[in-house]
A and B are shown apart, each in its own frame.
Chain A
Amino acid sequence: MSFPAISVPRPLKGRSTSTRQAAESLTLGATANGEVVAAPAAAEVADEARIPVRLRWAILCVWIFHGGLLLFRSYERTYDAYVHIFLADHYARDWFSTWDQRWYTGFTTVSYPPGTHMAVAALSKVTGDLRLSFAFLQVCALTLLTIGVYRFSRMWVHKEAASNAALLLVFSSAIAETVHVFGQLPTTWALAFLLNALPYLRKWAFEGRFVDLVSGTAVLAACTAGHHVTTLFGSVFFLGPVLAYGLLAQSRIPLADERSGGDPKLTHHVALGLIARRLRRAIPSFLRIGVLGIAALGALVLVVLPYWWWSATDPITQISIPHGSRKNFLVDRNIGLVFFVVPWGVMLLILPYALIRSTLDRKWPLAGSILLLTVLGTGGTTPIPRMMLGHAFDVLTLDRFTFWAAIQILPMGGLFVTSLEKGSVGEWFRQTGGHLLLRAVQIGFVVSIVMMALFSASLAQYRKFQPERIDTDPIVAFIEKDQHERWRFLTLGFGDQMAWLSAQTTATQVDGNYHSVRRLPELTSTSVERLEGAKYRGISGLGSLQQFLEVPEKYNLKYVFSNDQFYDPVLHFNGWQRLGPLENGIVIWERADIPPLPAELPTREVPPWQRIMWGTVPPTAIIAACVLLLWNLVGRPGIKPRFDTAAANRRLLIGPLRSLDRLLYRLQSDLPADSSTSRKTLWNVRLLERIRRRLGRPISTRRKLLRTAIWLIALGYPAFQFATSAAAAPTAIETVEQYYEDLDFRRWDDAYDALDPVTKPDPELWRLQISVRGGLLASYAKLDSMDLAVIEVVNDERVVVKADLNYLTAVNWYPIERIHTMLKRDGQWYIEPDPTEVTIPPDQLVRRTDVDYAIQGRRRVTSGNTELTDVQDRPELLLRSVDLVDVDGQPVIVGEVMNLDVDPGDITITGVLRNANDEIIGRYNATEEILHAIRPRETTPFLIRFEEVAAGTNLDFDPTDFTPLQLDDEVVSVEVYAKAVVTTGGLYRGLGVHEATVTATADGSYRLEGELRNDGVSEAVIPRILISFLDDSGRVLWVQNEYLEYSVRSQRRGGFSVELEDITGHRPSDIPIDKYHNGIAPSSGEIGIPPVLIPAPSGQPYSSIRVDVSTFLAE
């Protein structure tokens, strides 16, 4: 196997200008007007065609290192691998389809170039496994990328350095992170094709052989088929420097008809002539670059034309999704580690060398590109990227620039390795510390490169980006059973494995893992990337999730597969029933009474011609590129090996170009010859030589010691700082802060150590006391923020600290205030332990009778569908009272519904607002302010707020603040629908209200205080109280919903204190309300109502308060 000769500039070390020109002519082949200045010797060509040993090693290392990791499914923990596998699955199911129903209620697949996905899909037909195909193609892409880096490097550096660059690529932390942490196949794939296209494009521009243009354009088209952005930005950052450098080199090569003697020194007298001369030398290349630009544009546009068409005709207004790469890495160092330090890795240390060396080598286009990419990759750390990118800053993921920078530096990195191995850098180390230091540095460099690559590749192991692997088979089996795929589902806590789940089924879900194509306003108007990981976006994420859970019938959303109990409260209190765990531990939640999807879902396929194009052009481009690369690899059989560039250049200079050439010739013809001999050696070469001499100069022992000392200080000081900063005793505030962080992250031993050693219970007892205190804060909350302050200094050894803690839960956020007495013992602050509960329940064994229910069909075991006669009757509901209330201009429906039936019901109350034209202008459900599951003859109050699709410009909206419905029309009529299905869950009524009182506070508000006693046999994990404000006739005026922060164990009590909402501003509305329910009041008389619990305080618009209690029970 051999590569065709790639003409490259030789190192300029110690050469005269004439030699340099000859060397450059090797690169360029011919001068502008056609005279061949020099040609590579046959031996050189043969040597060039031979594959270097280190490149062979690099390819082998790719297979062993990356192939090995991929074989062990490193992609399972990555961000994007499953997304690409999902898209591959799309094409595997229907090659020419451009619409996928499975995510976001449908999305178009022309939104992403299909090359890699189609390749995986096609290969999966052979392997039978999408994941294996993905891994195999990733290895192929990396192999091609290794060759591409070698070929790209050969355009900048000599063969040995290019081989080193290929080796550096294999162990590049950027590649390791991209492949094994980010799971990017299109990026590596497209970059591999791009780098392999560049030599052809360069040869076309400066040698003019048409076959190079064809080869380069075809390979570039394959790049576009994989990832169009790489083509777009690659043209700027990769092809641009190559062409710029080539043009500069071309403009320095004299033509045969020029006056001999070289260019004169630049003065204002000769400036015009010099410019004309330089331009004239590069006219053919300029022309070819123009052709190349058209070809590249064609490759970019035509290959994925449907994508551009879609972008232009169906723009989606998507609120910017926050991305870590846009943050300030100095402020958020973890993000900086992931998006800057890790991808750069050891190359970051080489960056100054690369910039200086490439500049001194007159490769400033490369240096400029590296520098620009580096700066853009710093994200929000500096204002420069935002200034340069403008609006695009909020759209692009800037880590891509860092990735490209880490690739583009590789040629210079390879040069550095060569220099360290046998050049001036190595000589400097040898002079400083002898061979021992040199070897130590060389080994250290190699080890650090490999270790960094290993660290990057296994970063997901140290820092969990994804949940543990989920066995999706039981979920797929559930979806396929009993026509469950007729409804949409949602996953919670799956990470990117949700894409793998979707790839195995045709069932649809409202969420997805490709936010760019979302269409639902509920999703496009928020900054939340995925609902399934809503909690990681804090309040705004949970707010978005709630919009789907509260009105699931709008999306035909019936099932939630939860891998994170954090979401249990929001599911339960919005009426979702837990069906139980599958064998893989995933808990299924179901919302009753959700209409199934229609048999035929609407699709928005692109026109047939675009579908045919989408299904044929990108794969054709890839196949053509592969064929051409192979054809080039075997030496271009079928065409003449030699090409007359001079003749090609002459053919170009016709018509106006000929005139231009003559004009430029005349302008430069008067230039004097440069007779100066002192300027034959350029300034950069002289400087480089000087540096080299200085680095390799023998030094005294004293200087060696000095250098060693400087190195030790430079390396040792940060370590010293780190060690000393960790040893300082924390303050009282820091102790409390650390205590709560330890509690939040379940570091029990560390938290226990913060307690006063004199008064704290023994560790076992303390752990026991902690364990029995469950509930919303203890088990379903995440500490969001805390504000600590010393509020009293008793003496030097006793202070009182107030901790304002803000907990995030799935249903709300909780501001909690805690007061801690801090004691100082032996110079260390400790927290005085909280008093422990000493009450004991009266009975050792509690017996409680209950009524349980089971819904079952009355047929023998069958795999058939549920028969009509096996479907339970809808329980009869009676809307006892319904009123419309005007609250600050917003309509709110309040009322009361009773289950008249003898079956327990899972109820849904829906309010509809209509305008004068009888059009619906608002529709929403009673969400948390209702008991969704009620027993026979039980009554529940309810409240319906009409919520708008949330978000907009505010990226961190607060769901508790509520986004009111924007009503453009006046509400003329109101409808309220009550419906129910029989349920067997959510019926626990063991909690009772004790010692309930209403007390006035100093600020004029009122608080409802009391205790909940749990007389049942289950722990009330998240108790919830519904407070109804009633008028004289018992009609519900308002409903307030409150969650208790701690659980109430069986046969125990838990206190509550709730501030009652002020409803004095509420105005009853006289708009007529139509009630739709299936219950009829018994003829024997009026339905009885639950008696009031507490009379209202005087002066309030309500006359009494009723309290209903329910709870969430854990498994």
Chain B
Amino acid sequence: MTTDYRSALSANPWLTASLVVALLLAMGVGLPEADDAAAETPVVARSGGLTIEIQEEVRAGEGFDVFVEGLVPGVSMELIIDSGYGLRRMVTSHDRSSATVNVTAFAGPASGLILITAVQGDRVATATTTIVPGPPVDPIDVYLGPRTVIADAEHFVMIVAVPEDNWGNPVSDETSVLFTTTRPNQVVETKQYGTEHLLAWYEVYSRTVSGRTRIATESGVAGAPERDFLEVADKPEPYALELVDPLLPADGQALITVVTDILADGFGNVMPDGTVVMLDARGATGIRRVFSQTIDGRGEFTLAVPDVPGDVTLVATASGVQSEPLELSFVTAVQSIEASIELGTELAMVHVGPVRSVRASFVPEGTLATVTAADGTVSTAPLSLGVGTAYFSLDADLQSVTVEVLGTEIRVRPS
């Protein structure tokens, strides 16, 4: 059957007028734009009458059908599915002007807007759909940092959870994530946050008890490995030094041990092991600085006693906080010094020793003996040979010498 349109229009002016009005209305109001149409329906028309029809949402892990119309039978069509994670291409051939193509489920992450493009020859049509992620599954990725924080209730660490569904898709916004924090003193706190922009995060403020704080993370039935951080002591409160050993005589060799109080901050938290503590000594020891570190909250120092009697002031410093000074008074280590001078023709031989300590033994091997002649000539030699003696060869015209050992002096004249 055929219709002569020209004859029909000329025969029916109302019909002609109606068509003209409709045309003008269409031009004046305007046709809906393609994007608007797509927003309302998942169908988008493109060149040459090729159209795609697809459902608005697809659940992750499920396949979906794409209905394509306007195909030229017998000509292959390429379907391109762009998920943002990657492209998938399918080439099909149909003997009809429409076809339904089944897109199998994505094996990996693909959530979000999916752009589907059908191409046949130079004709193209596109449509979009959204893949909705599934519920979170094990394990939730959890990140925490820093992993040490000062236990002063002011510093905090941040924990971030990234839940994903079974296919690796980030879960939908506002998915609930539960953080359970167990403090060092076993106090348990729970916080629940919804995901936002793929993440759920939580600022975990320290409390005032040092130790390890552990955080569990859950979302629905999904769990995560535990994350933890250390709450550590702040700078110590004022502290004192203590002499552990009895005060030994100043023989220049013996060692004494000095310890600090337990270094703890204002909340009673003990300084962590390994924190540097230094000790300064002034006085009979000269200027000294030795280093140690805290173990069980204490810094322990070993000091050699001075080689001259006198007072010594000790001050420790930990995290910039100085201790109260510790005053020590060292007594002489020498009980007696024997010395003699033998005058020869060319040289005078000064024999020093034995030098006995207050404990009636020889002073330590290697202790220096200093002989000062009347003209100011100074000679130094170590007392050695296991008998606490030393020999000095001086000029023969010697009148007297001063012998000094460990701060004790005697005057000797030729016999």
Contacts and interface: CB of A to CB of B under 8 A. Distances in A.
Interface in B334-375: 364-366
Interface of A: 837-840, 842-843, 848-851, 853, 868-869, 873, 876, 901-904, 934-938, 989-997, 1010, 1013, 1015, 1080, 1082-1091, 1093-1094, 1107, 1109
A938 B287 contact: no
Given A873-B147, A989-B292, A1088-B317, A839 B276 contact: no
B286 A994 contact: yes
A143 to B, nearest CB: 60
B143 to A, nearest CB: 8
Contacts, number: 131
Interface stretch (B32-40, B55-63, B115-123, B266-274): B266-274
16 contacts: A839-B382, A842-B253, A842-B255, A853-B274, A869-B227, A876-B146, A902-B148, A902-B232, A935-B293, A993-B289, A996-B288, A1013-B290, A1086-B320, A1091-B315, A1091-B317, A1091-B322
A1003 B319 CA distance: 40
B304 interface: yes
B280 interface: yes
Interface in B67-93: none
Contacts of A869: 143, 225, 227
Contacts of A1094: 287
A854 to B, nearest CB: 13
A850 B146 CA distance: 26
B289 A1093 contact: yes
Given A876-B146, A935-B274, A1084 B152 contact: yes
B105 interface: no
Contacts of A848: 302
Given A902-B274, A937-B276, A1084-B235, A840 B366 contact: yes
Interface residue tally of chain B, by bracket? 35 or more
B384 interface: yes
A376 B235 CA distance: 75
B258 interface: no
Nearest to A904: B274
A568 B317 CA distance: 33
B389 to A, nearest CB: 12
Contacts of A935: 274-276, 293
A842 B287 CA distance: 21
B287 A995 contact: yes
Contacts of B254: 842
A851 B274 contact: yes
Contacts of B319: 937, 1087-1088
A459 B283 CA distance: 65
A1017 B287 CA distance: 23
B168 to A, nearest CB: 17
B272 A902 contact: yes
Interface string B278-307: 101000011111111101000010101000
A902 B225 CA distance: 24
B276 A992 contact: no
Contacts of A1015: 290, 302
A997 B287 contact: yes
A837 B382 CA distance: 9
A409 to B, nearest CB: 70
B278 to A, nearest CB: 6
A995 B308 CA distance: 12
Contacts of A843: 255
A995 B288 contact: yes
Contacts of B312: none
Interface string B312-326: 000101111110000
Contacts of A873: 145-148
Identify whether the interface residues of B are mostly helix, strand, loop, or mixed: strand
B286 A849 contact: no
Contacts of A1109: 291
B152 A996 contact: no
Contacts of B286: 994-997, 1010
Contacts of B44: none
Q: Quick one: which of B225, B230, B304 has the most chain A CB within 10 A?
A: B304
Interface of B: 143, 145-148, 150, 152, 154-155, 225, 227, 230, 232, 234-235, 253-255, 266, 272-276, 278, 280, 285-293, 295, 300, 302, 304, 315, 317-322, 364-366, 382, 384
Contacts of A934: 276
B154 A989 contact: no
Contacts of A904: 274
B288 A989 contact: no
Given A849-B300, A1090-B320, A996 B234 contact: no
A1091 B235 contact: no
Contacts of A838: 365-366, 382, 384
Nearest to A901: B148
A1088 B293 contact: no
Contacts of B145: 873
A903 B149 CA distance: 11
A1107 B276 CA distance: 15
Which residue, B154, B254, B272, B295, has most C-beta atoms of chain A within 10 A? B272
A1086 B321 CA distance: 10
A1094 B255 CA distance: 24
Given A903-B148, A1013-B304, 16 more contacts: A838-B384, A839-B364, A839-B366, A901-B148, A936-B275, A937-B318, A938-B276, A989-B292, A989-B293, A994-B285, A994-B304, A1010-B287, A1082-B235, A1084-B152, A1087-B320, A1088-B321
B288 A993 contact: yes
B288 A851 contact: no
B304 A1082 contact: no
Contacts of A1089: 320
A794 to B, nearest CB: 14
Most chain A C-beta atoms within 10 Å of own C-beta, residue among B254, B291, B319: B291
B318 to A, nearest CB: 7
B274 A936 contact: yes
Given A842-B254, A935-B293, A992-B290, A1084 B274 contact: no
Given A840-B364, A851-B295, A1088-B319, A996 B287 contact: yes
A1090 B278 contact: yes
Contacts of A936: 272, 274-276, 293
B38 to A, nearest CB: 40
Contacts of A849: 295, 300
Nearest to A996: B287
Given A903-B148, A936-B275, A1082 B234 contact: yes
Contacts of B320: 1086-1090
Contacts of A997: 286-287
Nearest to B291: A989
Contacts of B146: 873, 876
Among the interface residues B230, B280, B288, B384, which one has the most CB atoms of the partner chain A within 10 A?
A: B288
Contact of B235 (A868, A901, A995, A1085): A1085
Nearest to A935: B276
B352 to A, nearest CB: 14
A1083 B287 contact: no
A992 B318 contact: no
Contacts of A995: 285-288
Contacts of A1084: 152, 234-235, 266
A984 B273 CA distance: 14
A853 B274 CA distance: 9
Contacts of A1082: 150, 152, 234-235
Contact of B288 (A853, A868, A992, A1080): A992
Nearest to B233: A902
A610 B414 CA distance: 98
Nearest to B210: A902
B295 to A, nearest CB: 5
A1107 B365 CA distance: 30
B8 to A, nearest CB: 71
Nearest to A843: B255
Contacts of A1013: 290, 304
In the A-B complex, list the 4 residue pairs whose CB atoms are closest, starting with the nearest.
A1088-B320, A839-B366, A992-B290, A851-B274
